[in-house]
């Protein structure tokens, strides 16, 4: 602000004085500007040094050498939300003239449990393998456009996943160390049911990204972590030879594709 004010003063001086070539006047303006700039710099240095003791304050570090280990082991507990993105195509049943649209209308939290192993690559990167089981469900509703009729379906899912992630951690500060994580997550659905309106394929592959923070406690390390998982494969089963009532085929015909998604909040204990 001081520098801007001085520049404004200098240009005002130019416009109001035709005798700008006067070296004495020009020298005076330059001296004033240099003095104010030096004063501003000294104030900034004093302010920075006054904050440095606070910024560099250190506390006693819990488990200071735990990150130097080649391998880490632990377990995880958490919650998750399952979702599925359905693409409708506007299919009209040639026999009945019905047009059904499907959507996921509500979400229920599920339970997550697993174990993890982590391989240290260097100071900032590590490779993690965390076999996990997800217990949850997804609720779908089907709307008929002409009559307004509705029918529902609950997908009760039990996923076994084996995510392989790369973890990038920032430098540790006191007893905290934030990190980012990304990887792939193959999953198998053990409870994919037949004879329903929509049938899901049991195998899927997810791309996952997330963030977390290592919290170093006196006896263990706690990692709250939030991950976003995006299914890469269409999981709608097209071959409906399992159907006993062929009139239910209209629900499958009305959907082009379905891609699952998941949000996982977990607490890792190492």
Q: Tens digit of pLDDT for each residue in 89-98? A: 988 888 888 8
- What is the rounded CA–CA span in Å between residue 193 and residue 185? 22
Tell me the β-bridge partners of 76.
114, 268
Better-scored residue on pLDDT, 135 or 22: 135
Q: What's the rounded mean pLDDT across residues 6-27?
A: 45
**Alpha-carbon separation of residue 118 from 36, 68, 219, 266 (angstroms):** 56, 12, 18, 16
Looking at residue 239, its pLDDT comes to: 87
Tell me which range, 34-38, 55-59, 110-114, 245-249, is most confidently predicted by mean pLDDT.
110-114
105 pLDDT more than 80: yes
What is the per-residue pLDDT across 31-45, written as a single tens digit (0 to 9) for each? 444 455 445 445 544
151 pLDDT more than 60: yes
Looking at residue 57, its pLDDT comes to: 66
Looking at residue 11, its pLDDT comes to: 44
Looking at residue 247, its pLDDT comes to: 84
Better-scored residue on pLDDT, 99 or 4: 99
Q: How confident is the model at residue 120 (pLDDT cuts 50, 70, 90)?
A: very high
For residue 188, give the nearest of 202, 206, 205 by alpha carbon: 202
107 pLDDT more than 90: no
- What is the rounded CA–CA span in Å between residue 106 and residue 137? 10
Looking at residue 10, its pLDDT comes to: 45
**Alpha-carbon separation of residue 11 from 16, 32, 126 (angstroms):** 9, 14, 58
Write down the mean pLDDT value for the chain: 82
Q: What's the rounded mean pLDDT across residues 199-209?
A: 95
165 pLDDT more than 70: yes
- What is the rounded CA–CA span in Å between residue 164 and residue 207? 10
What is the per-residue pLDDT across 182-191, written as a single tens digit (0 to 9) for each? 999 999 999 8
Which of 22-36, 93-107, 135-149, 245-259 shows the lowest per-residue confidence on average (mean pLDDT)? 22-36
Contact 73, 227 (CB under 8 A): no
Looking at residue 197, its pLDDT comes to: 87
For residue 265, give the nearest of 137, 161, 112 by alpha carbon: 112
């Amino acid at each position: 602000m001081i520098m801007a004010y001085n520049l404004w003063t200098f240009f005002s001086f130019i416009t109001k004085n035709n005798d700008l070539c006067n070296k004495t006047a020009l020298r005076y303006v330059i001296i004033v500007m240099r003095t104010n700039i030096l004063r501003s710099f000294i104030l900034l240095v004093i302010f920075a040094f006054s904050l440095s003791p606070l910024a560099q304050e250190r506390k006693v570090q819990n488990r200071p050498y735990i990150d130097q280990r080649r391998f880490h082991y632990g377990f995880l507990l958490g919650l998750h939300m399952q979702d599925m993105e359905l693409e409708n195509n506007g299919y009209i049943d040639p026999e009945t003239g019905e047009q059904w649209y499907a959507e996921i209308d509500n979400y229920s939290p599920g339970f997550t449990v697993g174990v993890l192993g982590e391989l240290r690559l260097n100071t900032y990167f590590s490779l993690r393998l965390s076999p996990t089981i997800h217990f949850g469900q997804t609720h779908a509703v089907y709307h008929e456009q002409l009559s307004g009729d509705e029918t529902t379906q609950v997908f009760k899912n039990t996923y076994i996943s084996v995510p392989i992630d790369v973890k990038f951690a920032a430098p540790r500060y006191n007893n905290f160390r934030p990190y980012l994580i990304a990887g792939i997550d193959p999953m198998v659905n053990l409870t994919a049911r037949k004879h329903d309106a929509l049938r899901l394929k049991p195998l899927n592959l997810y791309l996952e990204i997330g963030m977390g923070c290592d919290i170093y406690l006196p006896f263990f390390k706690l990692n709250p972590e939030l991950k976003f998982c995006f299914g890469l494969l269409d999981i709608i089963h097209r071959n409906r030879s399992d159907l006993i009532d062929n009139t239910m085929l209209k629900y499958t015909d009305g959907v082009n594709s379905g891609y699952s998604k998941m949000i996982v909040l977990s607490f890792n204990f190492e």
